[in-house]
Amino acid sequence: MCKKIVKKHRSYLVLLLAFLIGNAANAAVNNYVGAYGFLGEWSMMPSQSSYQTSLGVAGGAGFMYELQAGAKYKPTRFLFDVGLGVWGGMSSYGQSTDQIVPLLNQVDLQGARFDYIYEINNRRDQYNDLAIQVPIMIGVQHRSFYMLAGAKINSHMLTMAHTTANVTTYGRYEKIPELRDMPDYQFFTNKPLSGTSKTHLDLDVAVSLEVGGRIGLVTDAVGYDVPKRRIEYRLAGFIDYGLTNLHKPGTEPGLNMDGIKYETNRLSEDYVYQTTTMIDKIRVNDIMSTSQEDASGNVTPFAKSVNSLMIGLKFTILFQLPEPGQCVICQDSYRRSTLRSRRGGLKYEE
């Protein structure tokens, strides 16, 4: 199959090879090292979830190497970038709808059975993340304008989840109305609830597009007579979209809550006064590891996949590495030609 393709397009390959060889002699290659910093908006987008896209902020910095290649004294250059950086960000989800979960067939202090209901409202899950980033980009530069496209690999080293919400609990009996705001029965209204836990985000591979321009003094060409160090400044906008799933869908419930245990016989030798309240026993799981239960009792993970999106501004500074070039007036030849001119010889010698 490969032989057929090569044979079919042999003439095109020959022309391409001739073009590259013909322009290689007239090509100029420059090497740069530099640093960059960026600031932007960071979102995590879940699929098939009652939660909407998160909103947040992220910023980072890193070091890079860039190769520029193109015809001598031409304003258009080919770019190849590779770098290593670190960034940190915060992004949070908000859930406007209330979450209602019943604990059935509980027994109160008098021995009566009831359903213990808790409602979670004003829930907010915030994720703080620290990641290492490896960008690999190619592009083109024409005078002040430049554009880069490629991939960025993000390895998430540390991710913390912080959850805040309000909890309301009440009792539902068969023959009497609902009982609310009774601390002895662990019934509260809008009790603040919070929790912090370490979670995990998987390796993220994102496609990236960067468009911007060089700022400050810009020259179209650099003399090749002596080595020169040159500095470039860039300002650009960028967008990174994650192609891979950030996390493994969780199977834990939204809240872990121990069953209510009341001692009905306070005169018993085994009776121990319970000082821990139900609110203290509630454990909050972040939504990345939370399952959801619908009205039919079907349990599904928070999301089958979560993709990342980052949009922001980037500032780059590049330092051209010194490179030897063709000499216009070589010092050794100049000295020899001067010496020979005094003896009546040649006045100039290459």
Percent over 70 (pLDDT), the chain: 66
Whether residue 331 lies inside any domain: the answer is yes
Domain that holds residue 69: 2-342
Give the whole-angstrom CA distance, residue 325 versus residue 128. 50
Whether residue 347 lies inside any domain: the answer is no
Whether residue 235 lies inside any domain: the answer is yes
Query: Model's pTM, two decimal places?
Result: 0.73
Our count of domains for the chain comes to 1
Whether residue 167 lies inside any domain: the answer is yes
pLDDT value at residue 88: 97
- Residues 154-203 pLDDT 10s: 999 999 999 888 888 888 887 777 888 887 677 888 888 888 888 888 99
Q: Which residues of 232-257 are buried (b: 16+ CB within 10 A; e: fewer)?
A: bebebebebebeebbbebbeebbbeb
Contact of 191 with 255, CB cutoff 8 Å: no
Whether residue 349 lies inside any domain: the answer is no
Residues of the chain where predicted confidence (pLDDT) is lower than 70 = 1-26, 50, 96-97, 108-111, 184, 217-229, 251, 253-282, 292-301, 324-350
